[in-house]
Structures are given as structure tokens and as C-alpha cells.
Amino acid sequence: MKTIEELNKIRIEKRIELDLRKNTNADTREKHILVCNGTGCTSSKSPQILENFNKLIKEKELKNVRVIKTGCFGLCAKGPIVIIRPEDTFYAMVKPEDCKEIIESHIIEGKVVKRLLCKDIDGKIVDKLDDLTFYKKQKRIALKNCGVINPEDIDEYIAFDGYRALSRVLMEMSQDEVIDTIDKSGLRGRGGAGFPTGRKWRSTKEAKGDKKYVVCNADEGDPGAFMDRSILEGDPHSVLEAMEIAGFAVGAEKGYIYVRAEYPIAVHRLQIAINQAREYGILGRNIFGTNFKFDIEIRLGAGAFVCGEETALLESIEGRRGQPRVKPPYPAEFGLWGCPTLINNVETYANIAQIILKGSEWYSSIGTKNSKGTKVFALGGNVNNVGLVEVPMGTTLREIVFDIGGGIPNGREFKAAQTGGPSGGCIPKEHLDTPIDYESLKEIGSMMGSGGLIVMDDTKCMVCLAKFYLQFTVSESCGKCTPCRIGTKRMLEILEKLCNGEGTEYDIYRLEKLAVNIKKASICGLGQSAPNPVISTLKYFREEFRQHAIEKECKAMECKALAKIEIDEEKCKACGLCQKNCPVNAIEGEGREKRHINQDKCIKCTTCIKSCPFGAIG
């Protein structure tokens, strides 16, 4: 059991030891080799890199060198990432076999391994992480420890002010003071809808009931979004600390983290964090010698998107099918097992300790009038710097896609960006300068959502995209209410007709009508927002729908029934590259003959278009 004095002692001692993590001028002979072990880098063999470094250090009997496993650095496109501190050297796309060179050249001889340095968007080679354009416009609050600390070591979290907010809350603040601070900070729910967090806390505190619960919604179901997972993998204690603060504020003694079973690394690190916190007496009874007690349990989700909806999530924790309840009553009054329950999203929690420590004024000074603080986005799709970014609210989409994201690869044009996943909408070129906050995104027909941000170039078909999202909602609809269960299926059928070249103009009209009705009549957020991808693509790309319906043409050539790939004989130089790359041998012609495509064999995979050096195929 640790007292506050012991906690302070760990903080001061450990902070000196870890000074080199944040201070490039740190006065030390130590070197820390930080290896990203987030899911992205793990998929490209970063655990092997970690092992190789450790082996080499042992072999060469190097002193003062430590290898540290960290969470996500954010720039997943350049993974696996290795950073050497204190000098802050950033090595990108490191392979397990590169470890030897890094140790021998960088660590022993002090020479930077130039070939592993990262190229910035302008082609310049950058050797320090902070010099990358990717990081320049970012502001890290929720991700402040990701890529800095070892998430499996509670002492490292404590070194960077961890559990200090909790001790301040327990020692110096009343329940109402905590809630007031959160309220005044202007923090809003980061799960998607943006409900003011302070208000949620207050209504849970004021609800009548002997037993109350605090729940963390870590069921990140939006395909292509990985913000919450990265926080859990990189800084799990920040969520535990915030849940305890919330427990104190609303009067709860028990917390649940509902996390997807598909996130094995996050679950593993959370469990380690919980065990360590229990060992230190930071979770359990008489925390810091006070009367406050709180414990946290992990509950694994089993793969259902609808469980991200708060009442469906509660049903799932109780052991049933995750079908949403009719609201009201809201969970603040009638939640887990009928008790008042506070549910917040991972990223919301990740902001709490910072707000308590730095004050509500500091937090509310960041962002726009109605949306305060920062937002984490998982930037993906047709963009150069795929990864995790945290920006102040009010940053424009253009800044995120072109400055931080480094623009569109292969010299293509930006067509649209999609936020909010299956519940959100598409944002076209003309709205690139919209500042991102809850209200302005809603105004242009999209939504903040949990933070997935997918960029699409001009080779993407918007009807296909709408179909993709509807396929998702149809398979994830829980089936409880008719408009969502049957309505979305009918919408999908119409979209399939359009993509197969069997649609008519009347279908577009029917699609719109259905969309409006499903939005009005569904009982939960999933159904009410399911038509959004269709409504927004129809709003900005109606011409494309019309082309599919009337001219039977898909200009992006994604809809196979409507696409016909041909080789322009005048441009063809008979190099045979297309033939070599075609997976189904659909391209005919030999030697110096002009090539042509056998349409019966062609599967329209467009590989040939990409492989032709003369742009003769289209």
C-alpha cells in the first residue's frame, strides 16, 4: 500500500531517471532505445526488433543502454519505428536485421544510420521526431504518454505526473468541485455524440441509488479507427486514473472496462496495469489512506458494433445480446443492473487527469467556442502519412490531410474524406477548409464520430462507398427495431442494383425517402445514423449516382458491372508489363503485338492500369 509521500518519492526519483525521454539536452550517459509495440508496428515484426536489441546489448555487454517497449508513436505508415533518446533520432521502417547496424554504428560509434532516417513530405531527410511536419501541427493531451513511457511499468506513468490528479482529488477536492472543474473545462464526450461530460457526471451523481457504476466504453467498432486502442496500448493507467476520479465524483465503487476481444495487446496491457495499480494500493480499499475504495474489472466484447451504443453495452455486460434499450431512462438513472451508471469513452477519460492538474481554464483555452480541447483522429486510406494524430479542435480538414497527412499518394487528387465511420458522412473538396468541431461537421452533413478519418482519392466510387457502409450496418444491425433491421437491408439492395447497372432514377428517389424514414423511426443511434453515408454522398455526389442509374457508367471503375477496361492501341508500346502483372492471364498478344484484354477473363482488378508505364490502359 503506497502513501502519497511514497508516490511523490517514486515520481521525483523516476522523473530524474527518465529526463532523457523528454529532454534532448539531458545530462546523462544513458541511452534509451524506444521501440513501438502498438498493433500496427507489431504486425510488421516490432517484437522481433525489441528482442534483437536486447540480445545485442547482452552480447556486446553494453552498459547504460536500455530498450523500452512503448505504445504508438502515431506515424504508422513509417512503422516499425525506433527512436533513440535523448538525441531523439527517428528511425523509420526498421527491420529486425537492421538492429545490428543501429547498435554498432549509432550506439557504439555515435554515428547516425542515415539510410534508416525518415523522409519528410518535401523529400528532406529528417533525423529528429519533432522536426517532422507530421508532428508540428499536433497537440498531444490524450496521447501525451503514448510513445514516451513503457505502458507496462506503473513507475514510468507515475514519473510523468501519473496518479497525481487522483491524489489531489482525494485530498483536496469535494465531489462537486471535481464535477465543476470538468464541467467548466467544456470537455465533451469523444465517443461521437459529444454530450457534455460534466453534465453526465452531475446527473449520475445526483441520481438516487445506493450502488453506482462507472463504465469505460472501449468497444471501438468503427472500422478503420484505432484511437482508443492506441491509448489503451500506450497509456492504460491514464484511463484507470480517470475512472477512479469519476468514481469518486459520482459516488461509485466499481468500474468496468468494456473492451473488444479483438484487441489482445490492449487487453493484456490493461490487465497488467490493473494488477500493478492493485499492488500499489491505488486500486482497492483505503486508497491513499482515505475511505475511498474503487476497483476495476475488464469485460471483453465479442464483436458487435452496436455494443458501442451505451445501453447495448450495458446489456452485453449483463450477459445478454447487445440490443439497445429505449431511452429514457438514461444510464445515469437506470444503468447496469438498474443502478445509476456513468459511461464515458476511452479518449474522454484520457483527458480527465490533465484537466484536474492543469485546470479547466487551461483546457477551455484550447479549441473553438463550443468544442474545447483536442481530438484524436485515426487518419487512413489514400493519404501519405497514415497514422494517429491529435489536433486542437478547430483545425481544418485541409491541415490534417495535406499538412499532417502529407497529401494524397501517387499524384492523385483528393476526392472526399469520411469522418464518423458508418454513422458519419463524406466531406468533399469544397469543404476542406471547414474547421473541425462538433457543430461545423454536423452542419456539412457529417459528424465527429469517434475519430476515424478516411481519405479517398479520385479513383474511388462514392456509390460503392455508400454500399460498403450499408453492408456494414446491415450485418451489424441488432434486429430489435424494424426500420433499422429491414430498412437498411432495402437500402443496400437498391445500392447493389445501382452498382450492378440495374438501377433507375426512381431508385435514387426511393433511397432518399427510405433514408429519411429510417433516421426518424429507429430507436438507437446506430439506426438513426445508418443512412448518413448515403445522405451525404447523395448530397455532394448526386451526379455519380445519376451516372450509375442512367448512363450505366462508373467513372472510377470500381463497379465491375459498369466498368470496361481497355487498352488504347495508340499508346500501347507492347512492353508486356500489364501481361506480366495480370493475375488471371486476361491480356493477350505476343512480342511486338499491341496487347488487348479478353473481357470474358478480366476480373477488373485494375492491376494492369496501375502497372502500365504509358497510361495506355483505362
Partner 1 sequence: MCECIENKIKLEVQEIMKPYKQEKDNLIPILNEIQEKYGYIPKTAQIEVSKYLNIPMAEIYGVITFYARFTLEPKGKYNISVCLGTACFVKGSQAILDRLKERLKLEEGKTSADGKFSIDTTRCVGACGIAPVFTVNDEVYGHATVKKLDEVLNQLEKESIN
User: To the nearest whole angstrom, how small is the minimum distance from the Cβ of residue 334 to partner 1?
Assistant: 17
**Cβ nearer to partner 1, comparing 34 with 454:** 454
Locate the DSSP E strands across 495-593. 587-588
Buried b (16+ CB within 10 A) or exposed e, 378-408: bbbbbbbbbbbbbbbbbbbbbbbbbbbbbbb
Residue 208 Cα distances to 182, 244, 328, 332, angstroms: 21, 20, 16, 10
Rounded CA-CA distance 452/448 in Å is 9
Site for partner 1 in 307-366 (CB under 8 A): 316-322
Residue 293 Cα distances to 247, 254, 281, 284, 482, angstroms: 9, 8, 10, 5, 44
Which segment (133-141, 298-306, 364-372, 510-518) binds partner 1 by CB under 8 A? 298-306
| Interaction between residue 3 and partner 1 (CB under 8 A) | no
| Interaction between residue 121 and partner 1 (CB under 8 A) | no
Rounded CA-CA distance 601/360 in Å is 64
**Cβ nearer to partner 1, comparing 43 with 174:** 43
Instruction: Retrieve residue 297's grid coordinates.
Output: 474489472
| Interaction between residue 95 and partner 1 (CB under 8 A) | no
Instruction: Retrieve residue 581's grid coordinates.
Output: 502483372
**Cβ nearer to partner 1, comparing 1 with 603:** 603
Which segment (116-124, 347-355, 510-518, 602-610) binds partner 1 by CB under 8 A? 602-610
Site for partner 1 in 135-194 (CB under 8 A): none
Residue 596 Cα distances to 75, 227, 569, 580, 607, angstroms: 42, 46, 8, 13, 14
Binding partner 1 (rule: CB under 8 A), the pick from 57, 103, 378, 498 is 378
User: To the nearest whole angstrom, how small is the minimum distance from the Cβ of residue 607 to partner 1?
Assistant: 7
Site for partner 1 in 482-541 (CB under 8 A): none
Site for partner 1 in 233-262 (CB under 8 A): 261-262
Site size toward partner 1 (CB under 8 A) is 55
| Three-class DSSP category at 559 | coil
Which segment (134-142, 204-212, 245-253, 447-455) binds partner 1 by CB under 8 A? 447-455
Element of type H or E holding 542: helix 532-546
Which segment (77-85, 97-105, 507-515, 521-529) binds partner 1 by CB under 8 A? 77-85
Binding partner 1 (rule: CB under 8 A), the pick from 10, 11, 18, 79 is 79
**Cβ nearer to partner 1, comparing 108 with 302:** 302
Identify the CA nearest to 206 among candidates 250, 175, 244, 242: 250
| Three-class DSSP category at 604 | coil
319: region left, alpha or beta (phi > 0 left; psi from -120 to 50 alpha): left
User: To the nearest whole angstrom, how small is the minimum distance from the Cβ of residue 585 to partner 1?
Assistant: 12
Identify the CA nearest to 162 among candidates 8, 294, 26: 8
User: To the nearest whole angstrom, how small is the minimum distance from the Cβ of residue 149 to partner 1?
Assistant: 20
Rounded CA-CA distance 508/505 in Å is 5
Site for partner 1 in 38-57 (CB under 8 A): 38-40, 43-44
Rounded CA-CA distance 281/2 in Å is 6
User: To the nearest whole angstrom, how small is the minimum distance from the Cβ of residue 332 to partner 1?
Assistant: 21
User: To the nearest whole angstrom, how small is the minimum distance from the Cβ of residue 67 to partner 1?
Assistant: 22
| Interaction between residue 302 and partner 1 (CB under 8 A) | yes
Under 8 Å between Cβ of 212 and 256: no
Which segment (35-43, 338-346, 434-442, 543-551) binds partner 1 by CB under 8 A? 35-43
Instruction: Retrieve residue 98's grid coordinates.
Output: 537492421
The pairing of strands 587-588 and 82-85 is unpaired
**Cβ nearer to partner 1, comparing 22 with 321:** 321
Which segment (63-71, 178-186, 273-281, 382-390) binds partner 1 by CB under 8 A? 382-390
Rounded CA-CA distance 364/377 in Å is 20
Residue 571 Cα distances to 320, 446, 515, 575, 615, angstroms: 62, 42, 45, 11, 8
Binding partner 1 (rule: CB under 8 A), the pick from 335, 452, 483, 527 is 452
Site for partner 1 in 192-231 (CB under 8 A): 221-226, 229
Which segment (169-177, 439-447, 452-460, 541-549) binds partner 1 by CB under 8 A? 452-460
Alpha-carbon 81 to chain mean position: 18
Which segment (164-172, 376-384, 436-444, 547-555) binds partner 1 by CB under 8 A? 376-384
| Interface positions with partner 1 (CB under 8 A) | 38-40, 43-44, 76-79, 221-226, 229, 261-263, 299-305, 316-322, 378, 380-382, 386-387, 418, 421, 452, 454-456, 460, 465, 468, 472, 478, 581, 583, 603, 605, 607
